[in-house]
Structures are given as structure tokens and as C-alpha cells.
Amino acid sequence: MIKALASISALLASVGLLLVGHGLQTTLLPLAARQASFTDFEIGLVSSAYFVGMVLGCLASPYVIMRAGHIRAFAALVSLMSAAAILHPVFVDPLAWFLVRVISGFCLAGFYMIVESWLNEAASNENRGTIMSVYIVVLYAAMMLGQVSISGLGISGFVPFVAASVMVSLAVIPVSLTTANQPAPITLVRFRPVRLYRTSPAAFVSCLLIGVASGALWTLAPLYGAQIGLSTNQAAFYTAAIIGGGVVAQWPFGRLSDRIDRRLVLVGLAVATFVISLAIVTIEPASPVAATLFALVIGVFSQPAYAIAVAHAFDHADADAYVETSSGLLLSFGLGSIIGPISASLLMQDLGPSGLYYQVAAVQVVTVAYIATRLFARQAMTPEEKLDFEYAATAQVGTVISPEPLDVADPDVIPPEEFPAYEDAGYSPEVTEETLPVGGEAADGEGSAGPGDTRTDSTL
């Protein structure tokens, strides 16, 4: 296992560096926008723009990768994301920031796709769960580190934006200098909502509603903290507490959903989130400690819901539909996340900071009402019929992680020999470990073993 993790260490380093920069931006932008006198609605639009870009990136990134190849696409997307970060203090305007955040979301979606394709290639059946779990831990730990790093940077001037840009730029180095020369298959995202809804209505609708609530929480929590009187540092920790609470609670609730109807777990999480949201609105915690504790608790109950909804969908999906299921649910979540910040910002503009949690509470009511109808419409599966909960396959980060390794026979999976980028690069699917030494170079440095080769001894 140590050898397997060592083989992806450079890739994980890139993930960590980029997500520190991304996490810094998620906290910085609402606070900087408020300081620049953006209205709450304008801040909501800028916040939703990231998810607009992410949805577009999920749909278009495979074609970028097929055209340019993995490493060149990786370098281009990360460089563009770095440039986008530094443009915020240059053009302090809501429309400009909206467009820049669309670019950032697009680039991050492509980044996730490339990274997760590479991880799928590096993993074997025996260590795949561990590798993907380590990836998720690194991802969220780096994001939280970026969020709280604003405490040492402030929100004024160029410095925090430069810091975010530098961290994103540094993410290019580990992968660009890798000696690995095997690209991995990628997936084409097909969003067929009618088919997805028919497979698992509860999962599809839940992911859409979860996006409305979580998209608003993730992006507007710093603004909420500032509006209730928290300092910049305290607002950063407030935001990180929501993510941290969710990370801690994912596995316990996931394992619970293996034993009972996952829809009941979703109902329980929604009810608990509703209660905590009303408590926040009623009590209006103003002290930093109390506010952060409430944020931690709301994260514990609101954040695991997406993973459990996806697991419920996997229980009902055919094995050859896992890729389409996971990508479709992510797009459903993304569409909800576009709506969430806009609607919540309107409520915050009219009702004050508590408008954020009024929306979160209202979404939970709709979720419970809908899932209640599904409990009577479809019989619950037995524990023996379910797939074991695997958070790495259900996290809302990319589109190519599934409960099983990628199968190149799947019409949604595109092996490297079909990439235009590799047609004239000396790539051959017949190249094997015996004919291409580990660390050897193809014509453009991106040659590969065949798509069926799952060797893990090359070094990223």
C-alpha cells in the first residue's frame, strides 16, 4: 500500500496545492465582494457562477483532454485557473467576477476529471478504495486549510488574491515533472435526467435539493459570518467548520445507511438540519464560539446527505451505468447549486443574514416531503442487496469515480488510443510493461500502456 500511495504522491501534492488556493478563494471572495460594496444579490450571482462553470466543465472537459492529452490539458486548465484568481482585484466588478468564477469552476471540473482518471488507472482492485479515500481526505483537508489561511492574509489589496494564484500555479509543477507516461481513460458525461430519475427518483431529486442548500452554505457562509459580526478570521473558521463537520460525519452515517433504508437516513439528516437551521435563526448566535459550534453541527447533518443519495442510486443502477449515474447526479447537484446562492442571497437581502438558514430549512421540508412519498412507492432494499457505502465513490468532487474500476467497454469510457491528442504521438494500446520501461518516454512524453493495464508501479 505504501508503494501504491508513493506512486501517486506527486498527483496528491498537486491536489493539495490547488485546493488550498481554491479554498482560500471560496472564503475570500464573498468577504472581498462585501468590502467592495457588492449587494447581497450580486454576491449570490458571483457565488453561483462557480457552479455554472463546474457544470459546463463536467460536460466539456473530456473533449479538452482528448484534444490536448492529460498533462497538457492539466497544465492549461490549472494555469487558466491561476490567471482567473489574480484577475479579481484587477476588475472589481460583479459581472467581471461572475465571468472569472465561471472560468474557475470550469477549470476545477477538468482538474478533478484528470486527477480521478489518473487515480483510477493507478489503483488496483485491492487498493482502489484506500487510494480514493486518501485522495478525498487530502482534498478536503487542503480546502479547509485554504479557507482558514485567510486569517493570516486579510481581505484587502492584492496579497490574498496573489497567494491564491500562487498556490494554484504551484499545482502544475508536480504533475508536469512526473516521469509517469501512461494516460488513463476518461469518461464522457451524459446527462439523461429522465432515465436517471426513473432509476432512482429519491436520489435524483435529493441531489438537486442538496445542491440548493449546500451550494448556498458553501459559498455564502463567509458572508453570513461577516453579517452577524464575526471578524474575517472568525468567518473563515466558521466556513471551515461546516466542511469539517461534514467530513467527520460522512463515514458513520454512510455505514448506518448500509444497515437501514438509505432514504430513512436522508429523512433523518434533513429533519436534523431543519431543526438546527431553525435554532440558528431563533437564537442568532453572535459569539464566535457559539456560531462556529452551530456551523459544525449544521455541517455534521447537512453535508453527508449527497454521498448517501448517490449510494442509494448505485444500489439501483446497473454496473455498466455507474459512470453515467455518478456524473448525472453530480450535474443534478450542480444545477441545484447554481440556484442556491442566488435564491439565498435574495433572502439575505430581504431578511438579513438569517435568510441563508431560512432557505436551508425550507429545502429540508421539501426533501422530507418528497422522500416520504418514495418510501411508499418503492420497497426498501435489504442490506444484502446494497453495495457497501464507499465515500470515495460518492463524494461530490468529480465525474469518474464509481464503485467499480472503469471499464473501457463502457460507451461512456474513452480509452487513450481514441484521443486525437495521441494519434501522432507514438501511442499504441499494445504497449505493455515489458515493452515500455517505467519512466520511459513516448514521443510526446505522454505515451501509455494499454487501457487494460492497471499497473501501479510507475511514479507520478
Widest Cα–Cα separation across the chain: 68
- Give the pLDDT of residue 438: 33
Phi, psi for residue 459 in degrees, rounded to 5: -110, 120
- Give the pLDDT of residue 327: 82
The secondary structure of 83-128 as a DSSP string is HHHHHTTTS-SHHHHHHHHHHHHHHHHHHHHHHHHHHHHH--TTTH
d(CA 151, CA 235): 9
d(CA 320, CA 218): 32
Mean pLDDT of 345-349: 95
Q: What is the DSSP letter of 382?
A: P
- Are the C-beta atoms of residues 403 and 322 closer than 8 Å to each other? yes
**3-class secondary structure, 186:** strand
Give CATH for domain 190-413: 1.20.1250.20
Predicted confidence (pLDDT) at residue 167 exceeds the cutoff of 80: yes
d(CA 147, CA 167): 13
- Give the pLDDT of residue 393: 64
Half-sphere exposure of 379 (CA within 13 A, CB side): 4
pLDDT band, very low/low/confident/very high, at 344 (cuts 50, 70, 90): very high
Residue 395 cell numbers, joined: 463524494
d(CA 247, CA 253): 11
- The ranges assigned to domains in the chain are 1-178, 190-413
pTM confidence score:
0.85
Same topology for domains 1-178 and 190-413, yes or no? yes
Predicted confidence (pLDDT) at residue 83 exceeds the cutoff of 80: yes
The number of beta carbons lying within 10 Å of the beta carbon of residue 439 is: 12
Residue with cell 474557475: 104
Give CATH for domain 1-178: 1.20.1250.20
d(CA 404, CA 169): 32
> 95 CB contacts (<8 Å, ≥6 apart)?
none
Partner residues linked to 413 by β-bridges:
187
Return the top range by mean pLDDT from 60-74, 192-206, 211-225: 211-225
- Give the pLDDT of residue 431: 40
pLDDT band, very low/low/confident/very high, at 152 (cuts 50, 70, 90): confident
